[in-house]
Amino acid sequence: MGFFSKDIKTLDDLFIHMLRDIYYAEKKIERTLPKMIGEATDPQLKAGFEKHLEQTRGHIDRVEQVFELHGVKAKAVNCPAIDGILEEADKVSGDIDDKEVLDAALIASAQAVEHYEMTRYGTLIAWAKQLGRSDCANVLAKNLKEEQATDRKLTEIAENRINLLAA
């Protein structure tokens, strides 16, 4: 925030700010997923996290594409929300010994992350359309679709296996 004037003046500025926010979040998720893969015991969950790590790298590429389409430099701004979600996830995991209970906790944390991403992409897509940037909206929609599919897959793994094993 500038001293003399506020930095975000228009919806376009706000769109760019939120793009920088999700860029930071995706990069942070890319750095955090390997640890979650290491902590997961259930093979299906581990494989799910591995797949999502690959997808997350694609998400970063797509966000960079949107920066380029929109004519601004790819840059991240701190996102205390994703930092908080991941910090809490790490703290809870550190307090669990039982491997099956830990898997249930990992799913809960991962779904909190997916829902954060989904809310950001949902908003970014709506704003891109409003700004006449359906090209940007289309690229962002690909990320949203993968976050939604991951969230559904995590629910399925939890309800069909992990919660039963953890109980």
* Binding residues for Fe ion (CB under 5 A): 56, 59, 117, 147
Q: How far is the CB of 121 from Fe ion (least distance, A)?
A: 8
What is the rounded distance in angstroms from the CA atom of residue 122 to the CA atom of residue 70?
A: 18
Q: Which two tokens stand for residue 19?
A: 């793009």
Q: Comparing C-alpha atoms, which of 72, 67, 59 is closest to residue 143?
A: 59
| Residue 78 beta carbon to Fe ion: minimum distance, rounded to whole angstroms | 17
Residue 21 vs 117, nearer CB to Fe ion:
117
Q: Which is nearer to Fe ion, 142 or 161 (CB)?
A: 142
Q: Which amino acid is at 113?
A: V
By beta-carbon proximity to Fe ion, the closer residue of 100 and 111 is: 111
Instruction: Kindly give, in sequence order, each residue whose CB lies less than 8 Å from that of residue 142, ignoring residues fewer than 6 positions away.
Output: 62
What is the DSSP-derived secondary structure letter of residue 78? -
| Min CB(115)–Fe ion separation in Å | 9
**Residue, CB closest to Fe ion:** 59
How many whole angstroms separate alpha carbon 33 and alpha carbon 40?
Answer: 10
Closer residue to Fe ion in complex, CB, 27/59: 59
Calpha distance 161→44 (Å, rounded): 10
CB of 110 vs Fe ion, minimal distance in Å: 8
